[in-house]
Structure 1
Amino acid sequence: MRIMLVVNSIGVGGAERVVSSLANAFAARGHAVCIVTLETKRPALPVSESVQLVELNARKSMGGLLHVITSLRDVVRSFKPDIVHSHMIHSNLVTRLVRCMVPIPRLISTAHNSHDGGWHRVLANRLTHRLADLATNVSSEAVAAYEKRRAVPQGQMLTVHNGIDTRAFHFSQGCREQVRDLLGVGSSTPLILAVGRLEPEKNYPNLLNALSRLPGHLRWRAVIAGTGPLQADLLKLADELRLADRVSFLGVRSDVRNLMNAADVFVLSSNWEGFPMVVGEAMACERLVVATDCGGVAEFTGGLGYLVPPQNPDALASGLAQAIALPRDQARQIGRQARERVQTLFSLDAAVDRWLGLYRGDRIDSARSGDADACAD
């Protein structure tokens, strides 16, 4: 098939990693693949040389929107895809409008979150919904949230879980020792890792306040990988909470797998999520997970980890304290079980098979029954 994937950019976010991994896997199976990015940014994720990459240089203006729409129309005409698969709200809306201008044999729109913005985005999504052949989201909770907000009609959005590349994300003792040495963290000091954009929905103040409430006798260090508009505020808060000597902000990192190997506990403090890839990647690396119970986190973890209510630093602190204090042999056992769960239910190969079936037009009813089986445990 000729497959076109449309996404905001090939940065370091979860949705971007999904698109990069899918593109490489499709190309490896002999399909012609083109990634179209709305924004022009230096790719931060590995993309196979056999994958065509087109950047549209979007600008935040009405003229910029018209430029992106007409440019994407021209790319569709040139590439002649059998399937166009868009990811995230902006790409979904743009590709639907382009379909009014140029034939697209099959169009799939994938959301990656339970909350994609205010009422205007909800309205735009609902008004353009019928322009896509299939709308999907990355977790059952996210689908339910879309339906509750009336962003899609009831029963007309399908859950398709993201796939984790377990060949890339796995535990390595050698890598662990090397990265901890670079970070200046002793072998016996528990290391807590958080990964994600420094933006409101990730609620890093929740994490910092939780860290400040950990019992005084516990030894620990924490590192946060990511950047964003709240960085200065978070640095100030960490200083006010007297955490500056125990919490390090690492900025944008392309070595997330290495950081996960170095860590003992992976923490997610978000207010809302879709199906956070970083949780599955941490599980694939056999790490303990402490996370707020939002989006598809519970679907991912299946009881293997510590889930706490969002926006509750006391509960998050309790989960972190339990994870840090867990005997090492028990932590290793949970880590092995977590990886087995990801390999069985959320592997990249399984996700690629699922998408290729939907691209070919497999029945949605059979896809729904398969989805239910995946969550039966």
Structure 2
Amino acid sequence: MHISTGLDIGGAEIMLERLLTSHPERKDELVIISLQDEGPIGIRLRNQGYQVIALNMAGKLAFPVALWQLTKLLKQIKPDLVQTWMYHADLLGGIAARLAGVRHLIWGIHCSNLPIGRPLTKLVMKAGAAMSGWLPDAIVAVAEVARQNHIGYGYNANKFIVIPNGFAPLSSIPAAQKEATRRELGLKDGQLIIGAVGRNHPDKGQDVLIEALALLPAELNWRCLLVGRDNEPGNVALTKLLERHNLSDKVQLLGLRDDIPVLLNCFDLFCLPSRSEAFPMALGEAMSVGLPCVATDVGDCRELVGDTGLIIPPLSPSLLAKALTTMLCFSADERNQLGQKARERVLGSFSLNVVSQQYDQLYSRIAKQKESADV
């Protein structure tokens, strides 16, 4: 059983989806529970034949009600192993699993630092840290930086294993589909397209990117596409920020889209301007389609990118602008060469197949440890 805080579009949720669908022959052995609603990923999994249960956790009594519902479900289903994804699922799913007598429990840490402006999440994390020594059998961190930081937060150091996010080649996009998307977006020939994918949130650094874009040389012919939840014209704060920097006609707000592979193929380069990350799915997917990347040195981004792109310190619009200028001034061949190196690196060193095998090995090790302890 996999228990996730939610199944909306996000790095952890996408990784869960990829992990499950990499072995479709196992779907009858799995149950996926979302503490919140089904979300788009839950709907996609259900449409593919996976059993998805949404608890629709909401309101002042959300925690005790969800704990009761979850414990009841676990007693009915009797899973052999429970793997939880993200802080709230770790805490609630972990307590419910132990109350229901589940023998094997694995937690998942999918961020390096606490999200900005989430006091309740901080309390949940602190409770998880206090219980980490005796509740889970293992804790998966998707990045070495995430492991180190959470040990600093009080998590039990002996429980951790680092398993990065994994990536598979995205489906090839027909040239006609790419051209149709470019026409839909009004992208002009000869215009260099900077793409950034991620929900609008201080952690993701869209404000830093906008400040950097305002510093780009006037003679460069570029356009930037901001993709992800709340990156849309209805976001008043974001549109005002663009107006203040005179970028309203240079930055296009696309909001949440379900055609990310197509959009990635429309970009000339990818930018990840985040203040905080662990092992970002968006960056790895951009690399997997052969995009040269500029990213901030947060989480394990440096480990992911290696020498295939440009890594700069976070919170530095001037250095980000310099890196983007460098990439935009490269010839098309130079960008293509970097992009090909990026693709080879991410699919060679961080393939979904290898990551899936690491999870299988972890499951086997936990089961064997428990069997030995029972003898």
Please say whether Structure 1 and Structure 2 have the same fold, judged by a TM-score greater than 0.5: yes
Greater mean deviation of Cα atoms: 273-282 or 182-191? 182-191
Q: Select 1:22's aligned residue among 10, 19, 23.
A: 19
Kindly state the Cα deviation for residue 160 of structure 1 after the two structures are TM-superposed. 0.4
User: Could you tell me which residue of structure 2 aligns to residue 75 of structure 1?
Assistant: 73
Residue correspondence of structure 1 range 277-288 to structure 2 within 5 A: 277-288=281-292
Query: TM-score, normalised to structure 1's length?
Result: 0.90
Kindly state the Cα deviation for residue 176 of structure 1 after the two structures are TM-superposed. 3.1
Q: Select 1:260's aligned residue among 264, 277, 293.
A: 264
Decide whether the 8 Å contact of 1:177 with 1:187 is kept in 2: no
Q: Encode CA deviations 1:194-240: one digit per residue, 9 max, x unaligned.
A: 11111111121101000000011111001111224993211110011
- Does residue 97 (structure 1) correspond to residue 95 (structure 2)? The answer is yes
User: Could you tell me which residue of structure 1 aligns to residue 161 of structure 2?
Assistant: 158
Q: Distance in 2 between matches of 1:30 and 1:216?
A: 53
Kindly state the Cα deviation for residue 30 of structure 1 after the two structures are TM-superposed. 6.1
- Does residue 139 (structure 1) correspond to residue 143 (structure 2)? The answer is yes
**What residue identity is the alignment partner of 1:57?**
N
Residue correspondence of structure 1 range 194-343 to structure 2 within 5 A: 194-228=196-230, 231-343=235-347
Q: Percent identity?
A: 29
Q: Encode CA deviations 1:8-41: one digit per residue, 9 max, x unaligned.
A: 2221111111111112223335661111001114
Gap regions ≥5 residues in structure 1: 365-377
Q: Encode CA deviations 1:109-154: one digit per residue, 9 max, x unaligned.
A: 111101135653442121121200000111111111112232x133
1:128–1:231: structure 2 CA closer, same or farther, 3 Å change rule?
A: farther
Q: Select 2:3's aligned residue among 6, 16, 21.
A: 6
User: Could you tell me which residue of structure 1 aligns to residue 372 of structure 2?
Assistant: none
1:216–1:55: structure 2 CA closer, same or farther, 3 Å change rule?
A: same
**What residue identity is the alignment partner of 1:124?**
A
Q: Distance in 2 between matches of 1:232 and 1:202?
A: 17
- Does residue 53 (structure 1) correspond to residue 46 (structure 2)? The answer is no
User: Could you tell me which residue of structure 2 aligns to residue 370 of structure 1?
Assistant: none
Q: Distance in 1 between matches of 2:56 and 2:123?
A: 24
Decide whether the 8 Å contact of 2:5 with 2:87 is kept in 1: no
Decide whether the 8 Å contact of 2:137 with 2:159 is kept in 1: no
Kindly state the Cα deviation for residue 173 of structure 1 after the two structures are TM-superposed. 4.2
Kindly state the Cα deviation for residue 44 of structure 1 after the two structures are TM-superposed. 4.3
**What residue identity is the alignment partner of 2:238?**
L
**What residue identity is the alignment partner of 1:187?**
D
Decide whether the 8 Å contact of 2:11 with 2:280 is kept in 1: yes
Kindly state the Cα deviation for residue 339 of structure 1 after the two structures are TM-superposed. 1.0
Residue correspondence of structure 1 range 116-131 to structure 2 within 5 A: 116-117=114-115, 120-129=123-132, 130-131=134-135
Decide whether the 8 Å contact of 2:14 with 2:41 is kept in 1: no
| Large movers: runs of 4+ above 6 Å | none
Q: Secondary structure at the match of 2:30?
A: strand
**What residue identity is the alignment partner of 1:247?**
V
Kindly state the Cα deviation for residue 305 of structure 1 after the two structures are TM-superposed. 0.7
1:27–1:80: structure 2 CA closer, same or farther, 3 Å change rule?
A: farther
Q: Encode CA deviations 1:153-199: one digit per residue, 9 max, x unaligned.
A: 3343211011113244x565444323222211123110011111111
Decide whether the 8 Å contact of 1:12 with 1:254 is kept in 2: no
Query: TM-score, normalised to structure 2's length?
Result: 0.90
**What residue identity is the alignment partner of 1:294?**
V
Greater mean deviation of Cα atoms: 37-46 or 275-284? 37-46
1:31–1:349: structure 2 CA closer, same or farther, 3 Å change rule?
A: farther
Q: Distance in 2 between matches of 1:28 and 1:177?
A: 36
Q: Distance in 1 between matches of 2:5 and 2:196?
A: 23
Q: Secondary structure at the match of 2:196?
A: strand
1:348–1:6: structure 2 CA closer, same or farther, 3 Å change rule?
A: same
User: Could you tell me which residue of structure 1 aligns to residue 37 of structure 2?
Assistant: 40
- Does residue 88 (structure 1) correspond to residue 80 (structure 2)? The answer is no
User: Could you tell me which residue of structure 2 aligns to residue 372 of structure 1?
Assistant: none
Decide whether the 8 Å contact of 1:198 with 1:227 is kept in 2: yes
Kindly state the Cα deviation for residue 362 of structure 1 after the two structures are TM-superposed. 6.3
Decide whether the 8 Å contact of 1:207 with 1:316 is kept in 2: yes
**What residue identity is the alignment partner of 2:360?**
L
Alignment length, in residue pairs?
A: 359
Q: Secondary structure at the match of 1:86?
A: strand
Gap regions ≥5 residues in structure 2: 369-375
